[in-house]
Amino acid sequence: MVSGTLPTALTWMTNVEIEKKTIDDVMRAVFENILSNGVPVETTRGPTKEILGTHIILSNPICRISRTESRGKIFTCLGELMWYLSGSDEVESIRYYISKYQDSAESDGTINGAYGPRLFGTKNGINQIENVIRLLKKRNTSRRAAIQLFDANDIAHPFVDVPCTVGLQFAIRNDSLDMFTFMRSNDARAGLVHDIFAFTMLQEMIAKTLGLNLGVYRHYAASLHIYTEDIPLVEAALKEGYAPSAPVMMAMPTEDINHYLCIIVDAEKRIREGDIPDIDTLSLSEYWKDVLRMLAIFRCKKDKDLPAARSIAGKLQNQSYKIYLEWL
């Protein structure tokens, strides 16, 4: 298809809805749908197969981590989440986990589309996460608990990277916190697993801060696509078969995000820079200590220090994490 040529309306409008209990079931359904029904579209980053108007429902958001070999990206998922939580837009902080982010950097070493500054206000002083929590504490039926990620400035200037996510919204219903994510563009192979992981983690962090149950996660993508060069990888992933449905992660403890956010952000920075703290002594729940232990194991893997990695792995309280540590 020639760039700029659009398919007919009948082939363009797909309006797919996918409802599953686990991320692996979601990914399988997404891949199968795009391969079967996707329309070829040429983009600035290369040719794709695309479906428009996709609504994904993850009914059990705690099942946010894939158990399959190709999609079980625990370290990169955790690393990207910590980048968001830190409020950083520096490429060096995320390139440590995901090298491809280098392609999105501006000349000053920052990434314009970074979510952290937009979520936590490290650039403009508006902490949207804090505002949502405050609003829902005041009025639990509010329909204003929305976060804007994409803004008018993003298309007013020729940035290398702009947010793929337009916005997030939260709603309390039946003592549970539901979340709605709106995407302008979504790479189904490389991005969707990471997006759902990070956003459902934010959903649960806010829910537990408010003392609520974790509700349903809804993900809307205007353009959900697979790059043509990635189709063999997608086809190989589909041959892996079905993964167990039990969640890898445990439920978060009920505690205010402000009780642990600064601690885990500071500890992650130290780990990334090669100064692994004594995680056991940190004033954190075992849930967050295990997250840091996994990041420390990743640091040890980079340093090729397997004895240290094994020692830290031996302290993991969540034994399910060990399915990603078979290399130890």
pLDDT at 7: 47
Which tokens is 39 given? Answer: 């329309």
Residue 15's identity, in one-letter code, is: N
- Looking at residue 67, its pLDDT comes to 87
Q: Quick one: pLDDT at residue 78?
A: 98
Q: What is the pTM of this model?
A: 0.94
Find out whether 112 and 160 touch, Cβ atoms under 8 Å. Answer: yes
3-state class of 39 per DSSP? strand
Query: How many CA atoms lie less than 13 Å away from 246 in the CB half-sphere?
Result: 6
Can you give the pLDDT of all 328 residues of the chain as single tens digits?
A: 334 444 444 444 457 999 999 999 999 999 999 999 999 999 988 999 999 999 999 999 999 999 886 666 899 999 999 999 999 999 999 999 999 999 999 999 999 999 999 999 999 999 999 999 999 999 999 999 999 999 999 999 999 999 999 999 999 999 999 999 999 999 999 999 999 999 999 999 999 999 999 999 999 999 999 999 999 999 999 998 787 889 999 999 999 999 999 999 999 999 999 999 999 999 999 999 999 999 999 999 999 999 999 999 999 999 999 999 999 9
pLDDT of residue 8: 45
Query: Cα–chain-centroid distance for residue 42?
Result: 26
Strand runs labelled E in 111-263: 146-148, 165-173, 176-183, 186-187, 213-227
- Coil/strand/helix, residue 248: coil
Query: How high is the pLDDT of residue 245?
Result: 85
At 126, list the tokens. Answer: 């508006």
Whole-angstrom Cα distance, residue 96 to residue 111?
14
Which pLDDT belongs to residue 9? 44
Angle at 245 between CA 284 and CA 202, to 5 degrees: 40
- Residue 52 backbone phi and psi in degrees, to 5: -110, 145
Domain boundaries, the chain: 9-238, 260-320
Tokens of 83: 């980048």
Fold of the CATH domain 9-238? Thymidylate Synthase; Chain A (3.30.572)
